[in-house]
């Protein structure tokens, strides 16, 4: 009898229970109500203004021919005379123009990274499962604000979910984000889609003024992506939410362990019982995290990290 099967029977589990867990959704149905409750708390917080092409309940940052009167200003050659403010012109003796501010619907586009390095976790859940939970909270919160929500799933085959309005659209997005995410049989082959191309596709496809939320561990982020992030930040409000596992922050003492790079497939042995090894790993990780934060800051991207083991997402999402 295979060792794996003996262990399953000794624990009182069914032989196919491990397979069932691997192919289970990343978010259990019982957890959905709790995430919706967290979203309702998040939706009460002030949201930064955004701009797209849908009329709605949120004021745009940009002025133009819209719905609500904003102010009067002096007429300039070339202005549309249909917007003349005749009362102010008559009162001041100088030609004035009416300026309107059009109301807009907030558009949020989520990018959920389901790559090889996201399919890892040592506390409570995988990083990709936490990314799905973040997507759920933000989707419910956007629906609660009467906003429009869309998404892109970065996977072996990328999937685009067009922007839609309402709670049903949020639920459909969450279902896709929480789809089973089993281990990859050939991790290296899934990285054929370069992230530079993915970022360029976002820049070309999203409406100007949308809020773009990148949910990833950003293990792929290098200096070459900084200029692309800066271009995205010039057109959209970009928010990078970095998912980090506890073992990445502090390497535990597990003795001699073989580590496997889920992206490249390479392996290495480390003696985690040695404090010097653990300290060196933590120092290297801190330097890498600081370098990534600096790249986001230079690009004008809002950045924060969220632990993969965290149950409460409201505090980090509000204060990040």
- Whether pLDDT at 289 is above 60: yes
Name which of 18-22, 33-37, 195-199, 219-223 the model is least confident about.
18-22
Name which of 47-51, 131-135, 222-226 the model is least confident about.
47-51
What local confidence, expressed as pLDDT, does residue 164 receive? 92
Cα–Cα dist 282/280, whole Å: 5
Name which of 25-34, 64-73, 109-118 the model is least confident about.
64-73
Q: Residue 60 corresponds to which tokens in the numbers above? A: 């745009």
- Whether pLDDT at 247 is above 50: yes
- Whether pLDDT at 61 is above 50: no
- Whether pLDDT at 169 is above 90: yes
The pLDDT of 298-315, averaged and rounded, is: 94
What local confidence, expressed as pLDDT, does residue 12 receive? 37
pLDDT band of residue 109 (cuts 50, 70, 90) is: very high
Element (H, E) at 32: helix 29-43
Phi, psi (rounded to 5 degrees) for 89: -60, -45
Cα–Cα dist 266/193, whole Å: 19
**91: helix, coil or strand?**
helix
- Whether pLDDT at 55 is above 80: no
Cα–Cα dist 174/161, whole Å: 11
The pLDDT of 91-102, averaged and rounded, is: 80
- Whether pLDDT at 264 is above 90: no
Say if CB 213 and CB 137 are below 8 A apart.
no
Domains of the chain: residue spans and CATH: 21-52+105-319 (3.40.50.410), 61-101 (no CATH)
DSSP state of 124: S
DSSP calls for 37-72: HHHHHHHTS-------S---SEE-SS-BS-SEEEEE
Cα–Cα dist 210/35, whole Å: 24
Name which of 48-62, 182-196, 202-216 the model is least confident about.
48-62
DSSP calls for 292-318: HHHHHHHHT-EEEEEETT-S--HHHHH
- Whether pLDDT at 143 is above 70: yes
pLDDT tens-place string over residues 268-288: 888 888 888 888 888 888 899
- Whether pLDDT at 7 is above 80: no
More confident residue, 2 or 251: 251
pLDDT band of residue 148 (cuts 50, 70, 90) is: very high
pLDDT band of residue 105 (cuts 50, 70, 90) is: low
Cα–Cα dist 232/106, whole Å: 17
**109: helix, coil or strand?**
strand
What local confidence, expressed as pLDDT, does residue 261 receive? 72
- Whether pLDDT at 162 is above 90: yes
SS3 content of the chain, % helix, strand, coil (to 5): 40, 20, 35
């Amino acid at each position: 009898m295979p060792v794996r099967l003996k262990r399953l029977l000794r624990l009182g589990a069914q032989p196919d229970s491990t397979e069932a867990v691997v192919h289970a959704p990343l978010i259990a149905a019982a957890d959905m109500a709790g995430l919706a409750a967290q979203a309702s708390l998040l939706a009460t917080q002030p949201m930064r203004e955004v701009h797209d092409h849908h009329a709605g309940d949120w004021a745009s940052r940009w002025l133009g021919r819209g719905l609500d009167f904003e102010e009067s200003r002096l007429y300039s050659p070339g202005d549309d005379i249909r917007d003349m403010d005749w009362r102010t012109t008559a009162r001041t003796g100088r030609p004035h123009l009416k300026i309107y501010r059009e109301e807009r619907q907030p558009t949020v586009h989520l990018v959920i990274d389901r790559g090889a390095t996201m399919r890892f976790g040592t506390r409570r859940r995988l990083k990709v499962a936490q990314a799905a939970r973040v997507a759920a909270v933000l989707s419910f919160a956007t629906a609660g604000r009467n906003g429009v929500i869309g998404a892109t799933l970065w996977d072996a085959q990328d999937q685009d979910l067009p922007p839609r309005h309402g709670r049903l659209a949020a639920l459909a997005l969450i279902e896709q984000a929480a789809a089973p995410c089993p281990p990859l049989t050939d991790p290296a082959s899934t990285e054929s889609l370069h992230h530079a191309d993915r970022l360029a596709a976002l820049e070309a496809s999203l409406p100007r003024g949308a809020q773009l939320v990148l949910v990833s561990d950003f293990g792929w982020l290098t200096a070459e992506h900084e200029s692309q992030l800066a271009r995205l930040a010039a057109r959209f409000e970009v928010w990078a939410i970095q998912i980090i596992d506890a073992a990445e922050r502090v390497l535990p003492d597990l003795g001699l362990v073989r580590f496997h790079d889920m992206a490249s497939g390479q392996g290495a042995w480390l003696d985690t019982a040695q404090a010097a090894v653990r300290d060196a790993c933590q120092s290297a990780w801190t330097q890498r995290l600081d370098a990534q934060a600096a790249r986001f800051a230079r690009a004008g991207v809002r950045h924060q990290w969220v632990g993969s083991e965290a149950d409460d997402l409201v505090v980090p999402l509000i204060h990040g």
